[in-house]
Amino acid sequence: MADGISSETTDRLFMGLGVIAEGMGLFKPIETIGKVSLFAWQVLYDVFRPPFEAAQIARQIAQAGSDSLPLVIASGFALGTVMTLHTRSTLVTFGAGAMIPTVQALAFFVEIFPSRRQPRRLRLRRVQLIRSRG
């Protein structure tokens, strides 16, 4: 080399830096990204390669659905309990205690399906109500 440092010295220096970086765990995230990328590529490749096993896929989906039933029941119970605790006092205050199940069902579906758009006539009615108050 021009400045008097041999290539062997620079090789040792960079090797030493690599060992230091590896010891500090700097290569681990890059290695993980590489492994995940290779896995994703393999999945995409295998999805479009025969044989296509539609019956097996349907069986696996049904199995996963039936196995998750206890979780769905538990989370539904917890969600209903929390929502009832939050709305009960207000409904009872205004004399609408009998409306608790109806309000809970409506709130549950609104929470589960938030992407459902309101019909245009309801949006217009809401705008009219807001403008009439202002």
Cβ contacts of residue 48 below 8 Å, gap of 6+?
none
Q: Which two tokens stand for residue 120?
A: 């245009």
Residue 62 lies in a domain: no
pLDDT tens for 58-75 read 898 888 888 888 888 898
- Flag whether 18 is in a domain: yes
Whether 45 and 79 map to the same domain: the answer is: no
Number of domains within the chain: 2
* Predicted local distance difference test score (pLDDT) of residue 1: 47
- pLDDT of the residue at 99: 84
Long-range contacts of the stretch 87-94 (C-beta < 8 A, 24+)? none
Is position 63 within any domain? no
Host domain of residue 29:
1-49
The confidence band for 39, taking pLDDT boundaries of 50, 70 and 90, is very high
- Burial environment of residue 91 by CB neighbours within 10 A (0 to 12, 13 to 18, 19 or more): middle
Cβ 100 vs Cβ 84: under 8 Å:
yes
Residues 73 and 105 in one domain: yes
Residues 74 and 132 in one domain: yes
**Domain-embedded: residue 89:** yes
Q: Tens of pLDDT along 95-132?
A: 888 888 888 888 777 777 755 565 555 555 555 656 66
The larger pLDDT score, comparing residue 2 to residue 61, is at: 61
